[in-house]
Structure 1
């Protein structure tokens, strides 16, 4: 680990019943292999979890008793409300997000902390991500995001300008914006809109700092009327913030409806050609 003095920070994650022991282990090992380790990991139980995952939590808690803080919810609330429970518990003003099945590059936290140290006006900083199925060495796609604040704000009106699992943000700015809220599948986009509306300054680092596990069913899950209705509900909540206009709301709904209803092979083609890039 590096000896440079950075601000102390927390990692915030939510774990739920579908998480597997192997994925969770890879995630946690990537955290504890960082060149700059977190001072705290806040792990929110979003309802019951698998016994083997719970056993791993116990194992890591014994190894790092002063690092891991557990917040337990007896019932599943959904990611947004689970994370909303975790934010106030975080001891430190800098919060790094991760999902429990993803893997951070070993210098991710150091790079983001260095960026925040050199750009104290920034409230949230993310990065590009690399997507994989089973092995992080076998990259299937990349998701690049805009870098500068004005470009991020413009992009966010139509699509997510951050990769949620790759952000590092300031707790004060999150709470000022009202914290995470219930917006199934769009809790991150709603938070970004709220933060921007409350004056947060944004940036992304032009690098791939997180490996994201997408799995075989990702494209299929983005289809169907059920998914579209969740998307529409989330976009409506963003509309109500005043961040987007009604025209922008209607335009994105029209595009999403088409994408949701076309056959899965065509949806996969759209993702490959329009929504994802090849890794450099």
Structure 2
């Protein structure tokens, strides 16, 4: 049976987390998986925890767990916490707004039929990807500039480091996330940089994504932080912080 841990970082997601959990419940009722869903509450100030707890009580057949960070530490740290908690053979994470639909899960699993594949990442730039409600012009432009810089200086061959849909073999995830340090949006680039350095094999897959109109991304300020993170990643590497991972 397919064995899967899903990690969903959540910060003030009281209005979006329940539809996401219902969609996952529907998916797993129709597909034969051994699974766990780990919601990592990233210091939410709203009723996110209450909504998740009520969903767990009202849906005892939904294999739902809740992990908590005492304060808001950023998506990177929330995902890292989820990786530490995850138990199943394949570990994935995606966003609380379910921008990448559950239908992508089955496609991702097919790649792991090849024993040499360690990581599968969603690529919204793939020719077969389907993007519903494309992001604003400003977000597209800033995204293209960031992707160019990532590809030029950090990750050659990766055209979409920021897609929120990433899937790992358990051992690869555990090894990579022991070394991650970036707390917020730049963590995607960091984990892929570490994976490349350790010679894990990464495959890009097309995805079907629906951009959320309620996105809280701040294009200018978040972009500046992400650009700064690129320099931090390079500095960390020079310090040897990403050494001695070892491919299993």
- Which of the five TM-score ranges fits, normalised by the shorter chain? 0.7 to 0.9
Q: Counterpart in 2 of 1:24?
A: 17
Distance in 2 (alpha carbons) for counterparts of 1:210 and 1:95:
20
CA shift, 1:138, in A, is 5.5
2:52 equivalent among 57, 67, 72: 57
Q: What SS does structure 1 have at the residue aligned with 2:78?
A: helix
Question: Greater RCO between the two (CA within 8 Å, min separation 6)?
Answer: 2
Q: Does 1:184 align with 2:179?
A: no
Q: Counterpart in 1 of 2:122?
A: 127
Q: Counterpart in 2 of 1:13?
A: 8
CA shift, 1:176, in A, is 1.9
CA RMSD of aligned residues (A): 3.4
Q: Counterpart in 1 of 2:220?
A: 223
Q: Counterpart in 2 of 1:172?
A: 171
CA shift, 1:217, in A, is 6.6
Q: Counterpart in 2 of 1:201?
A: 201
Q: Counterpart in 2 of 1:263?
A: none
Which protein shows a greater Rg?
1
Structure 1: 5+ residue runs without aligned partners?
131-135, 146-151, 244-280
- Structure 1 contact 46–82 (Cα < 8 Å) conserved: yes
Q: Counterpart in 2 of 1:111?
A: 107
Distance in 1 (alpha carbons) for counterparts of 2:66 and 2:216:
30
Distance in 2 (alpha carbons) for counterparts of 1:11 and 1:82:
13
What TM-score do you get using the length of structure 2 for normalisation?
A: 0.73
Single out whichever of 97-106 and 39-48 deviates more from structure 2: 97-106
The 5 Å alignment of 1:251-266 reads none
Q: What SS does structure 1 have at the residue aligned with 2:123?
A: strand
Q: Counterpart in 2 of 1:77?
A: 73
Pair 1:204–1:61, CA change in 2 (3 A) = same
Q: Counterpart in 2 of 1:240?
A: 235
CA shift, 1:159, in A, is 6.6
What TM-score do you get using the length of structure 1 for normalisation?
A: 0.66
Structure 2: 5+ residue runs without aligned partners?
145-150, 239-248
User: Deviations for 1:62-81, whole angstroms, at most 9, x for unmatched residues?
Assistant: 21366112111221111111
Q: Counterpart in 2 of 1:277?
A: none
Task: Number of aligned residue pairs: give it.
Answer: 218
Distance in 2 (alpha carbons) for counterparts of 1:234 and 1:175:
22
